């Protein structure tokens, strides 16, 4: 009876661990979605009372050169965190401290926290680079802006949205199923470009009828990081996938179809 009681306790403990891991993964995903939606409004420069107190251009006193340096610092911190935690060596190290099935969720949480911190600490810089007055130009550029975000969202599902954001990992652990890496497939947009998600980001960063100096700074720094991130991501994929990825990379453009 004592042996059976100990076994039941251990079994219950493992079950609770899986449930908590699943709830943790869902919580990280929900937090990411909130930060993601905030970033859309932040870049669009659309303040929403109670929800978006600060945007890329409004919500804080205008700063000078020191504000530029601090803005670059916070965005660079996000870039370093986002790249370092994605590397295989860091994943191996962090799995000494967190279970393997929540490693991706932890990465999503950390990235969301640092991005939220960068937006919270953002200091607008005075000045306007360009401004379109015509209604047609406004409609076209806002349409491109929306298209960029939709492209990002669609691209995540062309690979595996739930694996990318850690939900598949925690679900499989909860269901006591063995995790397997997502199979490399060339589907839809990936037949024309290697990084449709990054193309969506670039469009979203730059498509605006009013480009302020603050917006320009944000877009420039994040665009630089996009290409740095692509470089490191492709190095990792070449090591992981080998000849198949190398051949697809050779014949498929990076972010522009032509």
pLDDT at 247: 94
Average pLDDT score over residue span 72-76:
97
158 part of a folded domain: yes
Average pLDDT score over residue span 186-195:
95
pLDDT bin (cut points 50, 70, 90) of residue 8 is very low
Average pLDDT score over residue span 11-15:
54
Supply the range of the domain harboring residue 107: 2-251
Q: pLDDT tens, 158-175? A: 999 999 999 999 999 999
Gap between the Cα atoms of 61 and 177, Å rounded: 52
192 part of a folded domain: yes
Are 192 and 253 contacting, i.e. CB atoms less than 8 angstroms apart? yes
pLDDT at 7: 34
112 part of a folded domain: yes
Q: pLDDT tens, 202-235? A: 999 999 999 999 999 999 999 999 999 999 999 9
Gap between the Cα atoms of 99 and 197, Å rounded: 28
Return the sign of the alpha-carbon dihedral for residues 9, 11, 17, 22.
negative
Q: pLDDT tens, 219-228? A: 999 999 999 9
Are 211 and 129 contacting, i.e. CB atoms less than 8 angstroms apart? yes
Please compute Rg for the chain using Cα positions: 21
**Above 60 in pLDDT, residue 14?**
no
Percent of the chain with pLDDT strictly greater than 70: 93
Using N-to-C axis directions, what is the helix angle for 135-159 and 196-206, rounded to 10°? 160
Q: pLDDT tens, 114-145? A: 999 999 999 999 999 999 999 999 999 999 99
pLDDT at 203: 98
pLDDT bin (cut points 50, 70, 90) of residue 50 is low
pLDDT at 52: 78
pLDDT at 9: 40
How many folded domains does the chain comprise? 1
Gap between the Cα atoms of 164 and 190, Å rounded: 16
Q: Average pLDDT, whole number, for the chain?
A: 91
257 part of a folded domain: no
256 part of a folded domain: no
**Above 90 in pLDDT, residue 16?**
no
258 part of a folded domain: no
CA 191 to chain centre: 22
**Above 70 in pLDDT, residue 31?**
yes
195 part of a folded domain: yes
Gap between the Cα atoms of 205 and 216, Å rounded: 9
């Amino acid at each position: 009876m004592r042996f059976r009681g100990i076994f039941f306790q251990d079994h219950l403990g493992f079950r609770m661990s899986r449930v908590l891991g699943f709830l943790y993964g869902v919580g990280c995903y929900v937090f990411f979605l909130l930060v993601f939606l905030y970033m859309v409004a932040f870049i669009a420069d659309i303040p929403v009372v109670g929800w978006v107190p600060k945007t890329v251009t409004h919500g804080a006193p205008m700063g000078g050169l020191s504000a530029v340096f601090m803005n670059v610092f916070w965005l660079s911190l996000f870039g370093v965190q986002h790249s370092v935690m994605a590397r295989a060596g860091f994943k191996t190290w962090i799995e000494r401290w967190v279970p393997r099935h929540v490693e991706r969720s932890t990465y999503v949480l950390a990235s969301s926290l640092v991005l939220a911190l960068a937006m919270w600490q953002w200091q607008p810089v005075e000045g306007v680079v360009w401004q379109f007055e015509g209604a047609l130009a406004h409609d076209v550029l806002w349409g491109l802006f929306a298209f960029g975000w939709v492209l990002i969202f669609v691209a995540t599902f062309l690979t595996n949205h739930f694996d990318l954001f850690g939900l598949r990992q925690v679900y499989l652990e909860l269901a006591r199923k063995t995790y397997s890496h997502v199979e490399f497939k060339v589907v839809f947009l990936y037949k024309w470009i290697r990084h449709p998600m990054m193309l969506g980001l670039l469009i979203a960063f730059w498509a605006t009828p009013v480009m302020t100096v603050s917006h320009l700074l944000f877009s420039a720094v994040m665009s630089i990081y996009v290409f740095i991130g692509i470089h490191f991501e492709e190095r990792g994929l070449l090591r992981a996938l080998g000849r198949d990825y190398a051949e697809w990379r050779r014949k498929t453009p990076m972010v522009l179809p032509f």
